[in-house]
Structure 1
Amino acid sequence: MSQPVAQHSVPAASGRTARRGRGNPWLTLIAVALGVIMVTLDTTVVAIANPAISRDLGASLPDLQWVTNGYLLALAVSLITAGKLGDRLGHKPVFLIGVVGFALASAGIGLSKDIGLMIALRVVQGLFGAMLQPTALGLLRAAFPAERLNLAIGIWSACIAASTAAGPIAGGLLVQHINWESVFFINVPVGVVALVVGGLFLVNARGGDRGSSFDIPGILLLSGTLFSLVWAVIKAPSYGWGDVKTLAFLGAAVVLLAFFVLREAKAREPLLPLGLFRSVPLSVGAVLMMLMAFGMFGGMFFLTFYLQSVHLLSPVQTGVRLLPMMLAMMVASPAAGGLISKVGPRVPLVAGMVFAAVAFLGLTHIGVEAGFWAMTPWFALLGIGLSPVLVAATDIIVGNAPVALAGVAGGLQQVAMQVGGALGTSVLGAVMTAKVANVLPGHMKDAGLPVPTPAQVDLMKEAISQGVAPVPANTRPEVARLLVRASNLSFIDGMHLAFTASAGIMFVAALLSLLVRAGRQVEGAAALV
């Protein structure tokens, strides 16, 4: 049985400092939540601003994809390195630098008049965003005792859910009544508040070996691995999963990962100590986080198309429809944190995965004309199910790492979520497109329309997979109505299959959750080599 490593905790505050609130766990939670809320708001509002950005800056579809993909690539590649930076230099300065950089990059994007500059600044945003999320978890790990960490993570998750819920509504209102630039400018005042609160109340928690050098070869190998993997996943829908370019990037990711593992096994001061993965809960937690993100982001990806393209709702109306899920997460996340403190992570994890699976299966029964109340129970159940998974998986990743590596563990948690979400969106997107191509001829035949040729199906399936009916110009209204109906039914069939796959992933994750140790977390449970 491995021995726990020595812990590095936040120094006790002096009486004067304590009276001012510096180092107070709950004020620490408020400070880091503000920073992460800024990132979450930005993530959720950009998609709503894309049509206006395209119109004002003359951006093409590939340009708009880069607005999102440039940010995602920079974020995913930098997370673990940023976490290591916080462990080595201190989480407080890295977090505050991330806040300032993210807010300034947001202001620059709002002032941009060129799509190329905007994409470059989105990459900068991703780099600074990577400084915020793992260091936020590192600060929480150092500020809260082990038995209260999951409650703090639950409240932190509720803040993320709240900002996720507010994003589409606030973004829609800003774009509709002001302009698209305002969705980026809103990060500036949030960043200022986060900077002030963080400067006043955060304590500079950090690990040991402060003067040692960084693992530059490890950073380069891991960055190359994550870039190749995320790039392959992002581009697979357009390249094709069997295309040589997709396979080349996936192969490069595997080769670079092998070299990274060899490097870390021999390095005296590794970027990601492999001994972390000797903790079964930590390893299982990372896999569960990836599976949860695969099902959640992959399944939820299609709901936006369903509500906006099939139901023809505005972005604001779409946000309102999704509120039951977000509100359920806001309420259930802190409750899940308290429950995990009492009974341990295993039961909440299994129950949460099962609830999420049942919710996805329930969503396979909604049709083209489904109303608000037909969807609301399943959205609420999905929020209730995802909450304990997000809280418990985060807790067993960060809580089973030593305080000295809390930033690296936070980066690992975020990488698992980002990679899982990207995989879910791409893989389930391919599943849906294949299903649409399979059922479209039958639905068109049932509608009394000419059966399309395979070549015509190939031209139509991408648009239908996004809920858009490919109706040619000058089509007679009665024919257009039948074509829209056939397209919507094909979309629904594909979405149902994606939800079924998400449910299957959640059931598999529920079984995997049984490997998580019952009982409370132990401070510094993981050992290093």
Structure 2
Amino acid sequence: MAVRDQAVPPTHPIPAPYGWWPLAAITAALAMLMLDATVVVVALPDIRHDLNTGLGDAQWTLNAFTLPLACGQLIAGFLGDRFGRRRTFARGVLAFGVASLACGLAPDSGVLIAARAAQGASGAVIFAATLSLIAQCYRGRARGTAFGIRGAVAGAVVVLSPLLGGALVATLGWRWVFFVNLPVSAAVLAVTRLRIPADQAPRGGQRPDWGGLLTLPTGLLLLTLVLLRVGDHGWCGTSTLLMFAGAAAALAAFPLIEARRTDPMLDLSLFRHRTFTGTQLATLCTHGGFFGLLLYLSLYFQDQLGYSPMKTGLCFLAVNLPILLVSPVAGTVMDRLPARLLPGAGLFLVAAGLLLMHGLTPASGWRDLAPGLAVAGTGLGLTLPALGALAVAAADDRRLGMAAGVNTTASQAGLTLATAVYGALLRTHRDTVAGLDQLMLVAAGVTAVGAAAALSLIGRRAPAV
């Protein structure tokens, strides 16, 4: 079952002269990607007005990005292992920049949707590469610090995107939501070329995993698409059930195919490691719990409380600042603590924060949510860097991209599933505030399950890194 001859040979920690430059490039690319994943929501009204599009086209401006991003990350990690992670990362950044230019210049909704799909596909490459490149470039305490900074950046961009997007749209127009990626892409490519150690020569001769390449993307595509459409077609509609059945068949076939190969795209032996399995479950619940709720919190601030996008972004500072402060510290100390402690305790804090947010009434406001947001942010600051490090700790150097792809797929699956399920639950309530209040309890339960998985499955010690 072991993967022996398909990947780039092991790479040593980066030479001292490179310092933190690789991390700067990695986090800048991650910030660029995550900003575009969320900020378009703020720009949609202006996009619809300028391009004269309907609601359906506006939704596909979002969905065209989400589908390839959700479906392509394990494949992207596999390609990085086989052809070189720096090379794959650089090509993903270049493609993302070109797609961003096409988005900014789009004359109509059709071109914009196609360019957003290209952004999502290249974004999958970037997202999967951030974990594996950090694991490749850093060791020991430096790796923990790097994962802490990555987690802080990711959390900060997610919660600050309404503020950043509102500022860009208000001052420069919606096209600059995409144009701003061009200088960032150029800078990342320059640092990647100069400061990230070169890949070893890739090894050829392996047979392509056509079965895996067919079944996994098909299954994830159908599952993601049906979750995005379930609000319009219902859970029991004919098209929904057919797509669920197709997704289940493809995803069930994938591990059967991989188990028969000597050089699989996904080495199933990774899941024999309890820490690896527990990390994926905790990641799924982290993104399916708190991060799945962010969209509806943002809508609550804007639609129910009447806040502007910029003011909404400022409200999310209550969760963002603890993430920024705690994540780097957690990354620095996590190698001295039991491996399960930070994700387990952190997710329990997130669940506690969500319970503190419970109790919304029509008279409630931001101040009623702020304490819970702060507690949840502290928990996320402990959790995110630990899960990032543990996601790749069970893999050897040849399978870092594979392990990173599994983890980023789990995070995207949790977010997509939660967004669909929470939206369906919210629509069952005539009172939006009461519905959101119920979602706090559901999200707290999901997060508590993640905490239990972390504490019961992740070992006291992670594999040596």
Q: TM-score range by the shorter chain?
A: over 0.9
Question: Does 2:334 correspond to 1:330?
Answer: no
> Which runs of no fewer than 5 residues in structure 2 stay unpaired?
none
In structure 1, list runs of 5 or more residues that go unmatched: 441-489, 525-529
State the AA in 1 paired with 2:441: T
Alpha-carbon distance in structure 2 between the residues aligned to 1:40 and 1:299: 16
Q: Using the alignment, how far apart are the partners of 2:325 and 2:111 within structure 1?
A: 40
Shift of 1:206: 6.0
User: Which residue of the partner structure matches residue 385 of structure 2?
Assistant: 391
Q: How does 1:405-416 map to 2 (within 5 A)?
A: 405-416=399-410
- Determine whether 1:506 maps to 2:447: yes
Please say if residues 81 and 399 of structure 2, whose CA atoms lie closer than 8 Å, have aligned partners that are also in contact: yes
SS of 1:390's equivalent?
helix
Structure 2 residue 29 is matched with structure 1 residue 35: yes
Q: Distance in 2 between matches of 1:257 and 1:339?
A: 38
Counterparts of 1:94 and 1:176, CA distance in 2: 35
Report the equivalent of 2:169.
Answer: 175
CA distance in 2, matches of 1:204, 1:416: 29
Q: Following TM superposition, by how much is the alpha carbon of 1:151 offset from its aligned partner in structure 2, in angstroms?
A: 2.5
Give distance in 2, aligned partners of 1:135 and 1:493.
40
Letter paired with 1:32: I
Tell me, in whole angstroms, the C-alpha distance in 2 between the residues paired with 1:419 and 1:256: 16
1:271 is aligned to 2:265: yes
Partner of 2:362: 368
The structure 1 residue matched to 2:87, chosen from 90, 93, 104, is: 93
> What amino acid maps onto 1:233 in structure 2?
L
How much is the aligned-residue C-alpha RMSD, in angstroms?
2.1
Q: How does 1:78-477 map to 2 (within 5 A)?
A: 78-146=72-140, 148-205=142-199, 209-434=203-428, 436=429, 440=430
- Give the whole-Å Cα distance in 1 for the aligned partners of 2:214 and 2:207: 14
Deviation string 1:166-200 (CA, Å, 9 cap, x unpaired) is 42212101111221001110011111111111111
Give, as a single letter, the amino acid of the residue that structure 2 aligns with 1:320. L
Residues 499 and 3 of structure 1, relative CA distance in 2, 3 Å threshold: same
Is residue 70–residue 124 contact of structure 2 (8 Å, CA) maintained in 1? yes
**In 2: Cα distance, 1:302 partner to 1:230 partner:** 19
Aligned to 2:70: 76
TM-score scaled by length of structure 1: 0.83
Residues 288-342 of structure 1 show CA distances to partners (whole Å, capped at 9, x for unaligned) of: 1111111123322211111000111110011011112111111111122223211
Structure 1 CA distance for aligned equivalents of residues 125 and 4 of structure 2? 25
| Cα separation, 1, equivalents of 2:124 and 2:260 | 27
Cα separation, partners in 2 of 1:220 and 1:206, compared to 1, 3 Å: farther
**Which residue of 2 is the match for residue 455 of structure 1?**
none
Question: Contact between 1:150 and 1:395, CA under 8 Å: does it hold in 2?
Answer: yes
CA gap of 1:148–1:515, structure 2 versus 1, over 3 A, is farther
Bigger Rg over Cα: 1
% identical aligned pairs: 30
SS at match of 1:514: helix
> Is 1:10 the counterpart of 2:4 in the alignment?
no
**Pair 206,299 (structure 1): closer, same or farther in 2 beyond 3 Å:** farther
Distance 1:399 1:210, change over 3 A: farther
Kindly indicate whether the alpha-carbon contact (under 8 Å) linking 2:273 and 2:394 is maintained by their aligned counterparts in 1.
yes
Normalising to structure 2: TM-score of the pair? 0.94
- 1:496 match: 437
**Alpha-carbon shift at residue 135 of structure 1 (Å):** 1.4
Residue aligning to 1:485: none
Amino acid at match of 1:9: P
Q: State the match for 2:59 in structure 1.
A: 65
Contact 2:37 2:65 in 1 (8 A): no
Deviates more, 1:213-222 or 1:274-283: 213-222
Higher mean displacement: 139-148 or 233-242: 139-148
Distance 2:9 2:44 in 1: 45
Aligned pair count reads: 463
C-alpha contact (below 8 Å) 1:87/1:207 kept by paired residues? no
How far, CA to CA, are the matches of 1:218 and 1:142 in structure 2?
25
Q: 1:299 to 1:84 in 2, by over 3 A?
A: same
Tell me which residue corresponds to 1:462: none
- 2:163 corresponds to which letter in structure 1? I
Alignment check: 8 A CA contact 1:336 1:387 kept: yes
Amino acid at match of 2:233: Y
